[in-house]
A and B are shown apart, each in its own frame.
Chain A
Amino acid sequence: MHSKIKSSSERVLRIAAVFYTAIVLVLLLFPFFWLVSSALKDNIQIYEKPPNLLPSVPVRQEVYVDYSMISDAENIDDIIMQDAVKIIWGINYQFRTDNIQKIKVNILDDNTLLYSFSASNYKIWDAAREIMKTISYSPEMIANHYIAISDWMNIKEYNKEIDLKGRSGDDTAIIKDYLDETYHIAGEVITTQKVKDYSQYANNFISAWVNAGEFDTSVNKLGFGRFIVNSIFVSFMVILAQLSISSLAGYSLSKLVTGKLGKLILLFFLATMMIPFIATLLPMYIIFNDFGLLNTLWALILPSTSWGFAIYLFKGFFDKLPNDLRDAARIDGASEINTFVRIMVPLSKPVFGVISLWSFLAVWNEFMWANITIQKPALWTYTVALYKIQQGSGSFAPNESMALNVIAIVPTLFIMLIFQKSIQKGIALTGIKG
């Protein structure tokens, strides 16, 4: 690459580079692939041994029930709804090893599709837990609870002609017999069909997101979103603190307090890089306990207000800005703070960007300190929530926790893709120190 004459050794090197890089990138990306693949697997596939490389396509069970024979019945609405609940729950229970992700009951009047009732697999299990407090199914129990259960179904109105030709599956007879014998369906099951339903890939993500809210009653509405909101708040405040406190200090050391005193103070800040956080763990805990700030998000924000390296970076950047600017402003009678905010800050966008980014990455991924100081589930950051969810309770299957892990990557992924130019610039700006 450095000369026009290509020697043979250089050609070999170039080919080796392409091969090596290709292999490394495949290996590097494989964990990401495995994470997403695991998150998309259903509750049976995730425990398969040996595991499949790819998740299978989710299946939706369609059931077509005709009510033309009893369309004059007085309480036809009740009958239909009760039937729908029975069919959905019955199939979900009886054929649970078939990995059906969604069950849809189509209500027919001869060839007219009137309504459809549908529910995803995870919603049915949730309903079982919450409404019936049991997961054993009996026709009587469903009859007693069907109104409450029906809230969990998605109901759609159609009123259109459909053609049932070709809509049947291998197991239609089995399903039909089962429904008729065990649940005594009032309508007539015409046919059933299993179809691919890609939208059901979202099931693990939705159910894990919602169930994460169960750790605390006050979290319920936002689900896992509560923890992400906490993390965003903490990161935002830290960036704000960094940009104000460290930039002021850096500016001061660059333009106001110079000479020996300035050097001494800079050293005072830089020397903190020798202090490992773990070595200050206990005293920090005591300090925040004394302030009464344990179990508040301030415990996560305040320690990040001191970051020697950021001050050093700011100083280095302001050093490059000419002093004439400041002098001119002074002669105009501008106060120092005005000079800083109106003149210096607008010229320093790159360094502000880089420091925001590094602060964000550091705080966003922080785990140990948050895990020690925050016990209240409503205040957990998402890292602590991920830890608690995956460490203990058995209510999260591996596929669901992997779904949460995928969600946890998304914010940083976006930020990195948006700011990757700035990251690469940051390497130059930080003097290649890492």
Chain B
Amino acid sequence: LKKKILFSINQVFKRQRQGILITGLFFLLPAVAATILFKYYPMVKTLWMSFFEYKTIFNPGAFVGLKNYIDMFQVSLFLKSWGNTLILGIFFILLGFWVPILQALLLSYIRKFQGFIRVLYLLPMVVPGVVAAYLWKWMFNPGNGLFNTLLIKFGGKPLLWLNDPDLVKFSLALPVLLGGGIAVLIYLAAIEGVPAQLYEAGDLDGMNAWMKIRYITLPSIKSIIKIQFILMVITVFQIFDAPFIMTGGGPVNESKTVSMLVYDYGFQRLQYGKSSTAAMGIFVVLVLMTIVQIATQKEENE
């Protein structure tokens, strides 16, 4: 009897299988439509636009092939904005990448109030980017800002911060020095996931606490560190809001990032071909970084 029932169930399934597939595709329809319309179509269109002259947004004008790309490399602002983005990215990574790792690592040695401290570390998350940008701008204010007040108090000279062409990129990256945010919890979760046996083995080998961090904890969370690093690079290459709000790209274009260049060419200079060309640059970087990320993950899984 059992066999019979199973058989009949299979029959039902067979009949239904086609129906299920159609229903399934039907379920996928809205997501596929939205993805094509708002992701793939615009991306292809950007590529397409980058080959045209585009005098106005709705009129492609003459096909110019790779001319926009070649031109771009002769525009000093284009090269400068890539340079700015790179330097800004390096500042972000140097000042900020290691901070949440250290914070998580040390937090794992604190047992009292750990839950409360976690919540405090999450607090930067609640600050919308626009608010953070204006708050820092207010603290960087050369007139009566907090930083200059502190500098003067401790006998230093007041600085121009965001208004100083040499200092603007450093100033924009400075907030990351405080760390916090979701990254701390991600690292903490990873650290807590390290098997206790490893530490016990370390004890048997006579390792002290520093050696355990160096030879057990850090290697165990290496993959998370790598992925976080790649994600940070991806974020940094798209940075827009903070410089747009805090400096507008100035002074003298010293904080103009590639994303801002896309915006500038598109919505201020109305050179859509050039804007699309700059956008393609960011796309290529992102594709490369994603490939690196996938390769990293694969390597870790093996």
Quick check: is B154 within 8 A (CB to CB) of the other chain? Answer: no
Q: Which of B38, B127, B143, B190 contacts A284 (CB 8 A)?
A: B38
Question: In the bound complex, what is the Cα–Cα distance between A324 and B9 (angstroms)?
Answer: 12
Closest B residue to A3 using CB positions: B203
**A24 and B103 contacting across the interface, CB-CB below 8 Å:** yes
Q: How would residues 178 to 214 of chain B score, 1 for a CB under 8 Å from any chain A CB and 0 otherwise?
A: 1110110110011000001001101100001110110
Interface residue A120 (Cβ < 8 Å from any Cβ of B)? no
**Is B117 an interface residue when CB atoms closer than 8 A count as contact?**
yes
* Smallest CB separation, B61 vs chain A (Å): 14
CA distance A18 to B143 in the complex (A): 36
Q: Report whether over half of chain B's contact residues are helix, strand or loop; otherwise say mixed.
A: helix
A3/B228 in contact, CB under 8 A? no
Question: Which residues of A sit under 8 angstroms from B276, Cβ to Cβ?
Answer: 282
Q: How far is the CB of A293 from chain B (nearest CB, A)?
A: 12
Determine whether the beta carbon of A252 is less than 8 Å from that of B27: yes
Instruction: Count residues of B near A (Cβ-Cβ below 8 Å).
Output: 107
Q: Is B156 an interface residue (CB 8 A)?
A: no
Say yes or no: A252 contacts B286, CB within 8 Å. no
A253 at interface by CB-CB < 8 Å? yes
Report chain A residues within 8 Å CB of B130.
Answer: 365, 367, 383, 386-387, 408
Question: In whole angstroms, how far apart are the Cα atoms of A244 and B30 in the complex?
Answer: 9
Rounded to whole angstroms, the CA-CA distance of A145 and B168 in the bound complex is: 51
Give the Cβ gap from B9 to chain A, nearest Cβ, in Å: 7
Q: A34 CA to B137 CA in the complex, in Å?
A: 12
Across the interface, do A331 and B9 meet the contact criterion of CB distance under 8 Å? Answer: yes
* B58 & A13 in contact (Cβ 8 Å cutoff): no
A303 and B38 contacting across the interface, CB-CB below 8 Å: yes
Bound CA–CA A280/B46 (angstroms): 6
Select which of A281, A330, A361 is within 8 A of B279 by beta carbon.
Answer: A281
Please tell me if the beta carbons of A283 and B41 are within 8 angstroms of each other in the complex.
yes
Given contacts A283-B46, A286-B57, A432-B189, contact A251 B126 (CB under 8 A): no
Q: Given the complex, which residues of A lie within 8 Å of B118, measured CB to CB?
A: 420, 424
Q: Which residues of B contact A200 (CB under 8 A)?
A: none
Q: Binary interface profile of B, 30-52, with partner A (CB < 8 Å = 1, else 0)?
A: 11101101111111011001000
Q: Mark B64-87, 1 if CB is under 8 A from A, else 0.
A: 000000000000000000000000
Contact check, A280 vs B125: say whether CB atoms are below 8 A apart: no
> Contact flags (1/0) for A293-322 with B, using CB distance below 8 Å?
000000000110110100100000000000
B120 within 8 A of A: yes
CB contact between B275 and one of A50, A282, A415 (< 8 Å): that residue: A282
Binds A, one of B90-98, B106-114, B159-167: B106-114
B123→A29 contact, CB < 8 A: yes
Whether A278 contacts B262 in the complex (CB less than 8 A), given A252-B28, A257-B21, A368-B240, comes out as: yes
Whether A367 pairs with B178 at a CB distance below 8 angstroms is: no
Q: Are A280 and B20 in contact (CB under 8 A)?
A: no
Chain B residues positioned under 8 Å from A143 (CB to CB): none
A272 touches B128 (CB 8 A): no
Which residues of B in the span 140-157 have a Cβ within 8 Å of any Cβ on A?
Answer: 143-146, 149, 152-153
A32, closest chain B residue (CB): B123
Contact A408 B131 (CB under 8 A): yes
Bound-complex Cα distance A281 to B127 (A): 25
A5 near B203 with CB under 8 A, answer: yes
Q: Which residue of A lies closest to B44 (CB)?
A: A283
Q: Which residues of A contact B109 (CB under 8 A)?
A: 1, 13-14, 17
A residues 234-257 in Cβ contact with B at 8 Å: 244-246, 248-249, 251-253, 255-257
The reply on B251 being an interface residue by CB < 8 A is no
The yes or no answer to A197 lying at the interface (CB within 8 A) is no
A351 in the interface (beta carbon within 8 A): no
Which of A130-138, A181-189, A203-211, A397-405 lines the interface with chain B?
Answer: A397-405
A50-B149, A51-B146, A273-B290 given; A428·B189 CB < 8 A: yes
17 contacts between A and B (CB under 8 A): A10-B208, A10-B209, A17-B106, A17-B110, A252-B25, A269-B31, A278-B263, A279-B279, A279-B283, A302-B34, A303-B38, A305-B30, A335-B23, A386-B131, A409-B131, A413-B123, A433-B231
17 further interface pairs, Cβ-Cβ under 8 Å (given A327-B9, A420-B119)? A1-B109, A13-B109, A17-B106, A24-B103, A29-B123, A249-B28, A252-B25, A257-B24, A281-B266, A287-B42, A364-B128, A365-B129, A368-B263, A372-B267, A416-B126, A417-B119, A434-B227
